[in-house]
Amino acid sequence: MQAPPGKHYLGVVTPRLAAFDRAIGVKANLTVRYLALGRPFPLASVRGDAALGAETLIEMLPRGVTLRSVASGRQDAWLRSVAAGIRASGDAVMLSFAPEANGRWYPWGYHHVSPAQFIAAYRRVHDVITAAGARDVTWVWQVSHQYARSEPVRVLWPGSRYVDVAGIDGYFENRHDTFGNLFGVTLRAIRQFSSVPVLITETAAGQVAGQAAEIPPLFAGVRTDHMLGLVWFDIAQHRGLHHQDWQLNSAGLAAFRKAAARISR
């Protein structure tokens, strides 16, 4: 299912969606749930998100299994249970599988599996869930922003039959991070081989990067490059440069409220 024409997303990763809506002054219309392979479908969460006006992006994480086992059909029963959960919810959802496979940090990523293994597993997930009757699904192919040591995103492309939206993850960690070097390079690479809409599926600016200063150009870049929108990762991690406190601070919240109000007009 393609993203609706003219649709724009203002999304968030947070355990407190209603509180986030109040803080930014508008309703987020997309939120994220992480689903490890083998775990029950989060039916109550999807229904709760929908009640607050937000579609759910479910990132399916193949933890504890190999992509080879997914591609061979050994995880089909679980995939059919995901489809049953989607049907039971009665709501539209987004699905991504094995996100950020062009990076090295996940066992399904670069230097751990081949592009062919990733593509075979992604296609199997798509085909089994679709065949099981989950029709109201937007399929998201989700990668990390390209960097010097990442795998080129082109080699991981499953094909236009399998993807409705391309998603890019990228975080402003340092003051030298910009919209252009985080998202522009990857966006141009994707548009060389696909015309699908592109969404920033995870982003945030940490305190080291200067959160408030990064937010206006982030929203401006989404508009200028005709992207579908963005999902802000509003979580405090406190584990070094790559896992900072990403929650909106007072100045960052003011900047975000101003930018979000412009989207909602």
Distances (CA, A) of 188 to 180, 183, 225: 10, 9, 10
Assign residue 109 the CATH number of its domain: 3.20.20.80
Longest dimension (CA), the chain: 50
Q: Does residue 141 fall inside a structural domain?
A: yes
Q: What is the pLDDT of residues 72-93, one digit of tens each?
A: 999 999 999 999 999 999 999 9
Q: Does residue 148 fall inside a structural domain?
A: yes
The three-point CA angle 259-177-167 to 5° equals 65
pTM comes to 0.95
Distances (CA, A) of 228 to 171, 210, 224, 263: 18, 25, 11, 11
Is the predicted pLDDT of residue 265 greater than 60, yes or no? no
Q: Does residue 3 fall inside a structural domain?
A: no
Compute the average pLDDT of residues 203-219. Answer: 94
Q: How many domains does the chain fold into?
A: 1
> What is the token pair recorded at 196?
């699908």
Q: Does residue 71 fall inside a structural domain?
A: yes
Q: Does residue 215 fall inside a structural domain?
A: yes
Q: What is the pLDDT of residues 10-47, one digit of tens each?
A: 999 999 999 999 999 999 999 999 999 999 999 999 99
| Cα(74)–Cα(6) distance, integer angstroms | 39
Whether the CB-CB separation of 33 and 58 falls below 8 Å is answered with yes
Domain that holds residue 195: 9-264
- pLDDT class of 4 with cuts at 50, 70, 90: low
- The three-state secondary structure class of 66 is coil
Q: Does residue 1 fall inside a structural domain?
A: no
What's the 3-state SS for 129-178?
HHHCCCCCEEEEEEEECCCCCCCCHHHHCCCHHHCCEEEEEEEECCCCCC
| Cα(59)–Cα(122) distance, integer angstroms | 12
Q: Does residue 212 fall inside a structural domain?
A: yes
Q: Does residue 172 fall inside a structural domain?
A: yes
The dihedral sign for the CA sequence 180, 184, 186, 189: negative
